[in-house]
Structure 1
């Protein structure tokens, strides 16, 4: 027996790796000017729409208004017809009846609300009509009220808002 060990084969050298080739990223594709414009337009519309939605629901309901209330009395040539009354035919007041226009003017002379003569009552040759003109804007220094084309009656803001209109004709 010999103490000689058999010759061991030499370990082969590690395989040679090829040099690392840098991997290039794929080229980024740019948007065409038309596509970029459309994307910008959509983004802008979304922003404007969002702002509009927020402000539309967060503000006050609108200008404060009141209903101008009072009476209009026809003291001459009034006649009763059924449940209502009006001026007699050819009296010069025949434009006065239920439904006759009522116009409210602001301090600058502009029309700010319209309505009409309401229900009427007849008593002793006199017609009294209810007036209720809705949605009259608050904030005027004074108001002028005209029934038909018969001239205006001026009320202070306080009188108008408190329903103190009392006009007559005849």
Structure 2
């Protein structure tokens, strides 16, 4: 490696470091949220026979019509909301790592069961809520 090549390599490394420290470089975030699927008392939320969504199903995050990151549906729990008049809900967590930041809205596609547009703020703070009866049933 000659002196000019070494100087260029050092300059590019310094420029890359400066960009990442100032936030000018590419940045990503982990998209987090919940998927809620109404059910009946005594239901098995992890049943593969009757659930629209199940643990391990694919979750895609799209920006401008292109898939930018993929993850999986995570753990599930049965929430009893009958006292509030809402019945029983299977509540699934999801996380999708490495979503490129900078879009105001993203489309989240769940297990090819439907999709919903969600803000970057809600995805990055874990406030994204997708409800299976309210997903647009036109998966991308």
**Fold equivalence (TM over 0.5):** yes
| Corresponding pairs, count | 119
Match of 1:122 in 2: 78
SS at match of 1:145: strand
Inter-partner Cα distance in structure 2 for 1:128 and 1:151: 16
Q: Which digits, 9 at most, give the CA deviation of each residue in 1:42-62, with x for residues without a partner? A: 64xx42243123312442344
Matches within 5 A, 1:121-160: 121-124=77-80, 126-160=89-123
Structure 1: which 5+ runs fail to align?
1-41
Match of 1:112 in 2: 68
Match of 2:136 in 1: none
* Structure 1 runs, 4 residues or longer, greater than 6 Å off: none
Q: Please identify which structure carries the higher strand content.
A: 2
Q: Is 1:47 the equivalent of 2:10?
A: no
Q: Is 1:72 the equivalent of 2:28?
A: no
Mapped contact 1:70–1:163 kept (Cα < 8 A)? yes
With normalisation by structure 2, the TM-score equals 0.70
Q: Which digits, 9 at most, give the CA deviation of each residue in 1:60-108, with x for residues without a partner? A: 344122111110112137843xxxx32451x373xx22111110001x1
Matches within 5 A, 1:50-65: 50-59=7-16, 60-61=19-20, 62-65=25-28
SS at match of 1:134: strand
Task: Tell which structure's C-alpha radius of gyration is larger.
Answer: 1
What root-mean-square deviation, in Å, do the aligned CA atoms of Structure 1 and Structure 2 show? 2.4
Match of 1:15 in 2: none
Specify whether residues 119 and 92 from structure 1 end up closer, same or farther in structure 2 by C-alpha distance, changes over 3 A only.
closer
Q: Please identify which structure carries the higher helix content.
A: 2
SS at match of 1:140: coil
With normalisation by structure 1, the TM-score equals 0.59
Specify whether residues 55 and 137 from structure 1 end up closer, same or farther in structure 2 by C-alpha distance, changes over 3 A only.
same
